[in-house]
Amino acid sequence: MTENSAPPVLLDRPEDGIAVLRLNRPQAANALSLELQALLAQHFIDLAADERVRCIVVTGGDTVFAAGGDITSMAGVGPIEITKRHTERVWGPIQHCPKPVIAAVCGYAYGGGCELAMLADIIVAGEGARFCQPEIRIGIMPGIGGTQRLVRAVGKVKAMRMALTGKPITAREAWTAGLVSDLVPDDQVLDTALELARAVAAMPPLAAEQIKECILLGMDAPLETALALERRANAVLFASRDQKEGMQAFIEKRPPKFEGR
């Protein structure tokens, strides 16, 4: 980053409980440079530890989410340098963020951009959005979860088609396949994401974290193991003040006040 330039990721706190991270390399279609990835990871580390934050929105802006990895930083390197970059450590704070994450996707979500969107718990896509894993076209393959999260999201045959052809799918195709949770007009993407974030942020944060953890861990566990995990997480929540407040508010027919305790 040059001295007078804006950072490649911008943090905004539009209202209580919500943080918005905006990818900010418009001159490069938000390509995921090493600097951008490092800063994004640091933001997630900080926001995960911030008790004021209950939901995180990630967006690339109104025209592009992220057009993939920064090819100029990869073209001349070998396998040892790629390995030493330890992308699993860079992307780990996003993958393991305990708080709900919403991706607001306009325009291209290609390569690493598609993989970043899939790290979110909810994906809001504009009708003009496109999703793609084009790595095969430059002689490589998805390397930050594209082959694994994609198949879990859309199934084997659709994931194979995307990864083996490198062809994009439309937002409507992504919605039909189950990759996208909400499909809205392009000019409503961020507003819809913020509306969802507002609804999530109003919920008890301990319950939200337990729900997220159970869904993610249970996806790859045997059903009986996942059900046991769910039962125990549910029981733990009965030790929280938010559980007492939520049930008492329901009985008294008043809005609850959740504190994350």
Q: Are 53 and 47 in contact (CB under 8 A)?
A: yes
Q: Which domains, from first to last, does the chain contain?
A: 9-201 (3.90.226.10), 205-252 (1.10.12.10)
pLDDT in tens, 22-43: 999 999 999 999 999 999 999 9
Tokens read off for 103: 């991706």
What is the layout of strands, in order, in the sheet containing 169-170?
108-110, 130-132, 169-170
pLDDT in tens, 89-136: 889 999 999 999 999 999 999 999 999 999 999 999 999 999 999 999
The larger pLDDT score, comparing residue 18 to residue 83, is at 18
CA 96/CA 49 separation, integer angstroms: 12
Q: What number is the average pLDDT over the span 130-151?
A: 93
Tokens read off for 38: 């490092």
Q: What number is the average pLDDT over the span 11-26?
A: 97
pLDDT in tens, 197-219: 999 999 999 999 999 999 999 99
Q: What phi-psi label fits residue 240: left (phi over 0), alpha (psi between -120 and 50 degrees) or beta?
A: beta
pLDDT in tens, 224-256: 999 999 999 999 999 999 999 999 999 999 999
Instruction: State whether residue 55 is helix, strand or coil.
Output: strand
pLDDT at position 3 is 42
